[in-house]
Structure 1
Amino acid sequence: MRFFLFGSVIVLTVVCVIGLFWSPWFLLGVALFGALSVIGVYDVTQTSHSILRNYPVLGHMRFLFEGIRPEIRQYLIESDQDEEPFSRDKRSIVYQRAKGVEDKRPFGTRKRVYDSGYEWITHSTAPKHIESHDFRVRIGGPDCTAPYDASLYNISAMSFGALSANAILALNKGAAKGGFAHDTGEGGISRYHREGGGDLIYEVGSGYFGCRTPEGRFDAAKFRDTAADPQVKLVELKLSQGAKPGHGGVLPASKISPEIAEARGVPMGQDCVSPASHPEFSTPIGLMEFIGKLRENASGKPVGFKLCIGHRREFMCIVKAMIETGIVPDFIVVDGKEGGTGAAPLEFADHLGMPLVEGLVFAHNTLRGAGLRDRLKIGASAKLVTSFDIAKILALGADWANSARGFMFSIGCIQAQACHTNHCPVGVATQDPMRMRALDVTEKSERVFRFHQNTLKALQEMTGAAGLAHPGDFRPHHLLMREGDRDMVTGEEVYPYLPNGFLLRDEKDDFGYLNRWKRARADNFEPFDVE
């Protein structure tokens, strides 16, 4: 059906050519349908637009509507019916930066600056000039012998299987060119990750793909071999993800190709199960001991874990287990519940888990309160697409940012929301060879690189405008928020950094940290009873 219109105009062209033997009027049809046929041939052979490669001729309708979108958008704003300005603006920014076109725009902000919730960064009357946009953060604590100097902006977890081979290859080649990291997702390291040659964050989920026994348990020997790969720079144990925390998953046998089976280390013809919880541990101390086991077999590389904050006391249980065991991970990635996935129940996506800002601030201050914040780094992920998004989460306690959505946009995602159908129109989230053919790896990998570079250049300019020398210098007081008409507050008032060690000193606070800390226990996720 995707090629029906293209095939039809070719047939009509032939019919009109034959019709010239009866009447010269068929020359009009030859001109019209012949021109459309030529356009269709060009569409399926060009490499810049995935939509046109998958929908020759017909795909031009999309670009026609895009051309008049500013006028439609203005109408929607004026009539107060603008349903997704936030998403549209961000997607537009990604497309412009990925394509290397001008991303400046006239007529000022599109945000409603007097609406409650509007946020901005304060600037300096003495801005600084920053020489380079290649901002780095060193990940690796005292127990790490192979620390990694990570970019401040990296590709978040997206598995091969969820994404197509061409999508994975384009992302990884772009990461290799730009010198930033690509999280494998829990689906293991595929041949396309290896072919791209980019730095990898090897994510180990509850299914232990790439390091599992036939029964689905953890296999230390297989993990050791995988972690020894020079491309692997970080090892990330996934406890939960923002879009569906506490929810497992099943990849049906019908969807498992030989390449997916190879990457995950699972047999063909059987459902591939990711349990909701890890079978290797069930307590906070057990989690830390498993982190220690990973560290022993990770060739000295940084080891950490990723989670969406749920019960805050349970995160404190994990922190207490760090203190009791002396095993402190090299990093923690806090995933916001607003993060995306192709397969989350609606109720999970909308109403389960903690949003990134609240989760990040809580994790940051809990680690400060326990005196551990200086021993590990914190990454953050969830719809972090613009330089402002990065600056904001750095101000609130993160050391670096990960993005899935931004980099998906850069390789052509149009938010068709067909990820779970295998019918992605641009070849990003599909295993259909004909559909993924639309995604040209050479073209899209260059867009991945440009998006990363141009976003960090924008961060460079924003940092200098704030009078700072490095984005890591952003603090809550650089962030202001509007609460209502004529009312604004600083980030320091809403999201303050709490004192180092205050939990260990039993100091009362205004945010309920100490009460939860007293109820948290290292040996169990169940609470202590505290009167």
Structure 2
Amino acid sequence: MFRLSPLASFPLRFSAYALSLLGLIVSLIGLTFADADWGWGVLVFGLLTALGTYDVCQRGRTVSRNYPILAHLRYNLESFGPEIRQYFIQSDTEEVPFSREQRRLIYQRAKNVSDKRPFGSLHHMRHPGYEWMSPSLAPAHIDPSSLRLTVGAERAKPYSASVFNISAMSFGALSANAISALNDGACEGGFYHDTGEGAISPYHRRGGDLVWEIGSGYFGCRNEAGDFDPERFRENARDNAVRMIEIKLSQGAKPGHGGILPGAKVTEEIASTRGVPPGRDVISPAAHTAFTTPRELIDFIVRLRELAGDKPVGIKLAIGPPWEWFAIVKAMLDTGEHPDFVVVDGGEGGTGAAPLEFINRLGMPLDEALLLVHNTLVGAGLRDRVCLAAAGKLVNAFDIARAMALGADWCNAARGFIFALGCIQARSCHTDRCPSGVATQDTLRGSRLDVPTKAHRVASFHANTVAALAEMLGAAGLHHSSELGPEHISHRLTRHEVKSFAELHDFLTPGELLVGGAERHPVFRDYWESASADSFAPPETLAKLRDSKLY
């Protein structure tokens, strides 16, 4: 049998390692018998040989063992592959997760430079899924400053909210300078800043209106055991800067998922803010301990409202099984009490880092979630008493208008505002190496973010976006965002078929659920009657399926 010589059968994948060894040997001989310039060869080839030797001996990466030295080319190319796609390959309209067109618009509005575009749209208007707002032959003028609404009108301390605000982002997730700039921007622009569940830090207390988010960790209002502490809550909630309270049931980035802040990241400052011991792991449970049933949730809302001095109290949630949301609404009906507002967080993800499966496949997308919540409140006769907000990839005027057409009274944005701070969508938020100093606790990186400059950009982004919304609404012949309805937005189904949101979606009529209606709507028909104010559990028929695969 013919056999290859040992040299011919030497795997080519080891060639870089072999050439490095050969180069080191030649360089050593040259250094010994020639001149000192060969020392550079010894240094270069010595380092490559050391790397190759490490690759061959280590056991963690099979690719490196099979391709010593060469494997690192792959790792390096893979590491900056997203940047190559973002800057050189991605189209202007491809949203992964935010398109170049979206980011450029935010940067321009934040910097107060022209956001106009020449030569027509880059969007394919004939393609299915394209949407637009219908203009009127009788346009109106809207003062952008009038686009506000009253939340908690029944309360002693109602709040006049802008239609566009900063969504929940905690100190700890964002740097001190980023939080400071957001709060200063909110103060300058007259809109609210949601604290996120990480409590009210010193950087939130710079004059901007606050919505204090209370999560399952009860940061800023917890006792040593991690349970809710009413006295600590009262102390913070009655601060004049806190305008509303928001109970976070779940979030779009990772619904149903708890969290842990490693002890190494729990600095004295973060510990003081959150009310936890420094240097120890901090756990955010997946579920609240202050309540376990829908009825107890409503009782908790009432309790917080009383402790806060009758300020508006609401809930934020990402929608899961419809019967759980129905159970909350039934608890409202049974008790005669209700949250002052509901923030619907879409399953599109957000600033919070989360497992890939949670980001991609857990949680109802915003459109369906918002429509379900709005429909339920209308059908239960509660919509005029409960305000509704939307959050989830809403960064321009049409995004806001579209959400309002599906039922929202106002919209929140997180990523839009951190783009205004200078975020470049590096997607390294969870690594503590954010290149723009936004999502990091590295004091050197964070300190490079100039607070006065970025605060003004936050305010400018808000002002220019709300002004664009006012222009769109006026072009549609409307006088306020509250007039916007599903009939104003059109959706292309096919090249030859178009429907308005009013035709495309099934909207309930006021009080329809109270009189046994909504039989035409399968979700309400199947789950409304069986939902209970005393439990988040599924209907009995569905519970039985969990015990068997005999569907």
Give the TM bin, normalised by the shorter chain. 0.7 to 0.9
What is the distance in 2 between the residues matched to 1:404 and 1:185?
10
Is the contact made by 1:133 and 1:460 (CA closer than 8 Å) also made in structure 2?
no
Q: Which residue of 1 aligns with 2:148?
A: 136
Q: Is 2:397 aligned against 1:387?
A: yes
CA deviation string 1:239-293 (max 9, x = no partner): 0000100000000000111111111111112111100000111111111111111
Q: Is the 8 A contact 2:351 2:415 kept in 1?
A: no
> 5 Å matches for 1:129-168?
129-142=141-154, 144-168=155-179
**Cα offset for 1:433?**
1.2
1:287 aligns with 2:301: no
Out of 490, 495, 508, which is 2:505 matched to? 495
Structure 1 residues 347-358: aligned runs within 5 Å: 347-358=357-368
1: distance between equivalents of 2:245 and 2:272?
Answer: 20
The equivalent position to 2:188 in structure 1, one of 177, 186, 204, is 177
Contact 2:258 2:285 in 1 (8 A): yes
Aligned to 1:120: 132
Alignment of 1:254-269 (within 5 A): 254-269=264-279
Which residue, out of 325, 340, 360, partners 1:315?
Answer: 325
The equivalent residue for 2:107 is: 95
Q: Which runs of 4+ in 1 moved over 6 A?
A: none
**Which amino acid counterpart does residue 198 of structure 2 have in structure 1?**
G
1:133 Cα deviation from its structure 2 partner: 3.7
CA RMSD of aligned residues (A): 2.0
Quote the offset at 1:390 in angstroms. Answer: 0.6
The match for 1:222 is 232
Residue ranges of structure 1 left out of the alignment (5+ in a row) = 1-61
Task: State the match for 2:474 in structure 1.
Answer: 464
SS at match of 2:412: strand
CA offset digits 1:474-498 (Å, max 9, x no partner): 1001010111111111100222431
Q: 1:240 to 1:84 in 2, by over 3 A?
A: closer
1:54 maps to which residue? Answer: none
2:471 partner amino acid: E
CA contact (8 A) 1:189 1:202 kept: yes
Residues 83 and 339 of structure 1: is their aligned pair in 2 closer, same or farther, counting only changes over 3 Å? closer
Match of 1:221, SS state, is helix
Q: What one-letter code is carried by the residue in structure 1 that aligns with 2:103?
A: R
Question: Which residue of structure 1 lines up, in the alignment, with residue 445 of structure 2?
Answer: 435
Deviations, residues 444-467 of structure 1 (Å, cap 9, x unaligned): 000001000000110010000000
Is 1:188 aligned to residue 189 of structure 2? no
1:444 equivalent to 2:443? Answer no
CA distance in 2: counterparts of 1:324 and 1:254, whole angstroms: 46
1:367 and 1:426 mapped to 2: Cα distance?
A: 41
Shift of 1:342: 3.5
- The answer to whether the 8 A contact 1:140-1:147 is kept is yes
Distance 2:115 2:251 in 1: 32
Aligned AA (1:518): E
Q: Of 188, 198, 203, which aligns to 2:213?
A: 203
Q: Which moved more, 1:286-295 or 1:213-222?
A: 286-295
Alignment of 1:514-529 (within 5 A): 514-529=525-540
Greater mean alpha carbon deviation, residues 520-529 or residues 184-193: 520-529
Describe how 1:240-389 pairs up with structure 2 within 5 A.
240-389=250-399
Mark the CA change 1:76 to 1:302 in structure 2 (over 3 Å): closer, same or farther.
closer
Deviates more, 1:180-189 or 1:464-473: 464-473
Mapped partners of 1:96, 1:255: distance in 2? 35
Q: Report if the CA contact (8 A) 2:405-2:486 is conserved.
A: yes
SS of equivalent residue, structure 1 residue 389: helix
Partner of 1:31: none
| Contact kept in structure 1, 2:327 and 2:536, CA below 8 Å | yes
1:110 is matched with: 122
**2:415 partner letter:** R
Q: Which 5+ residue runs of structure 2 have no aligned equivalent?
A: 1-79, 543-551
Give 1 or 2 for the bigger CA radius of gyration.
2
CA distance in 2, matches of 1:473, 1:146: 25
User: Residue type matched to 1:150 in 2?
Assistant: A
* Displacement of 1:134: 3.9
2:465 alignment counterpart: 455
SS at match of 2:534: coil
Find the residue that maps to 2:344 and give its secondary structure. strand
State the distance in 2 between where 1:526 and 1:450 align. 46
Cα–Cα, structure 1 residues 76 and 140, in superposed 2: closer, same or farther, change >3 Å? closer
In structure 2, how many angstroms separate the alpha carbons of the residues matched to 1:270 and 1:85?
Answer: 34
SS, match of residue 448 in structure 2: coil
Superposition deviation, residue 84 in structure 1: 4.1
Q: Distance in 1 between matches of 2:467 and 2:328?
A: 37
Q: 1:514 and 1:176 mapped to 2: Cα distance?
A: 46
Partner of 2:36: none
Q: CA distance change for structure 1 residues 452 and 76 in 2, over 3 Å: closer, same or farther?
A: closer
Contact 2:488 2:501 in 1 (8 A): yes
- Match of 1:92, as an amino acid? R
Amino acid across the alignment from 2:489: L
Q: SS where residue 373 of structure 1 aligns? A: coil
Mean Cα deviation higher: 145-154 or 323-332: 323-332
Higher alpha-carbon deviation: 344-353 or 507-516: 507-516
TM-score calculated relative to the size of structure 2 = 0.81
- The answer (yes or no) to whether the contact 1:174–1:446 under 8 Å persists in 2 is yes
| Contact kept in structure 2, 1:518 and 1:530, CA below 8 Å | no
- The one of the two structures with greater contact order (alpha-carbon pairs below 8 A, sep at least 6) is 1
Q: 2:265–2:279: 8 Å Cα contact kept in structure 1?
A: no
- 1:341 shift after superposition: 2.9
Does the aligned pair in 2 maintain the 1:339–1:381 contact within 8 Å? no
SS in 2 for 1:374: coil
Identity among equivalent pairs (%):
54
CA distance in 1, matches of 2:522, 2:482: 25
Task: Give the deviation of 1:527 after TM superposition.
Answer: 3.4
Q: How many residues align?
A: 459
Q: Deviations over 1:417-458 (max 9, x none)?
A: 111111111100111111012210010000001000000110
Q: Determine helix, strand or coil for the equivalent of 2:472.
A: helix
2:144/2:466 contact within 8 Å kept: no
Query: Which position in structure 2 is the counterpart of 1:40?
Result: none
> Is contact 2:351-2:414 (8 Å) kept?
no
Q: Which residue of 2 aligns with 1:4?
A: none
Question: Structure 1 length normalisation: TM-score?
Answer: 0.84
Contact 1:94 1:409 in 2 (8 A): yes
